[in-house]
Amino acid sequence: MINDNLASLSDEELKVLSSKEVIDEATLMDNDCMQTVFKDAAPTQLVLQILLQRDDLQVQSVTVNKTMKNYNMRDVYLDIYAKDKQGKIYNVEIQKDIRGTLPQRGRYYSSNIDTHEVTKGSQFQDMPETYVIFITKDDILRLGLPIYYVDRVYTNANNMLYGDEAHIWYVNGKYRANDDLGRLMQDFQCSVPNNMHYKVLADCLNEYKGGNTMGAALQEYGRRCEAKGEARGEARGEARGMLQKAIEMASKLKARHNMSDEEIAELTNLPLEKVKAITA
């Protein structure tokens, strides 16, 4: 019945539904969703604990979409930038396009972290251990391994580790074994929170998609507007406008198309209780 009713909706109504569809299909591999979910320490800490197989790892701080400015050189934009309580640094990149997995990119990101973390007067032996971790949608080497580890070695000395503590990893997003990492990779490409294995990630994704409100996704829409150079007030106004349009559309769907409250809630992503109050 819902599909039949779509044909009779106006362009404005379809635009709101289109935005909702994008949110409904979003996974942790999508940039906007990733920035919302991993802005807090708990989901980031869970991912790092699984990747490094360290239950004792504690994230002290996390920043999403961190910019590293470089005078007269190419700036770097990091998806997730975290520090643990031991001072180790983790840059996690969510990579859907294999073109973003070039070895030179990993090298550049790793070197930029070093440049920005080493302060004047500090000693080289005090440099923090760093991890640049690409979580890729596909298996970049097609060898079926869960993670591909990149470390410098002495090539003419039985590949003995160089020991500079700068690591670059590629996590195989296709990995589906019945273990912690396999379940994590399933969660990264799952669009339905109720089907996910890890509650911390499921709760965050549910919040982004709406849960009991449309707030998180709409706030992210506002942040995208700000990133494009729009004023903060205007961006927030547009986000509020989207919510208002969803409310107005709920009224129109009831008045013009006589949809049930359940159908309206599904189409607009408004809570059923909110829809019932609007259509009462």
Would you kindly state where each structural domain of the chain is located, as residue ranges?
A: 2-24+213-279, 27-190
253: pLDDT strictly greater than 50: yes
Spatial separation of the C-alpha atoms in residues 6 and 31, rounded to whole Å:
28
What was the pLDDT predicted at 59? Answer: 97
Residue 231 in this model has a pLDDT that exceeds 80: no
The yes-or-no verdict on residue 128 having pLDDT over 70 is: yes
User: Which residues, at least 6 apart from 105, have a Cβ–Cβ distance to it below 8 Å?
Assistant: none
Q: Tokens representing 146?
A: 């869960």
Query: What is the structure's pLDDT at 240?
Result: 60
CA distance 268 to 249: 8
User: Does the structure show a pLDDT above 60 at 166?
Assistant: yes
Backbone region of residue 272 per phi and psi (left: phi > 0; alpha: psi in -120 to 50; beta: other values) = alpha
> Which residue from 131, 124, 221 is spatially nearest to 171, judged by alpha carbons?
131
Query: Which residue type is seen at 275?
Result: V
User: What rounded mean pLDDT belongs to the chain?
Assistant: 84
| 14 vs 40, higher pLDDT | 40
**Per-residue pLDDT, 4:** 47
Token pair recorded at residue 52: 């490094």
pLDDT at 212 over 50: no
pLDDT of residue 80: 97
Interval 77-105: pLDDT, tens: 999 999 999 999 999 999 998 888 899 99
Higher pLDDT, 192 or 218: 192
Question: Is residue 232 pLDDT above 60, yes or no?
Answer: no
Residue 158 — very low, low, confident or very high, per pLDDT cuts 50/70/90?
A: very high
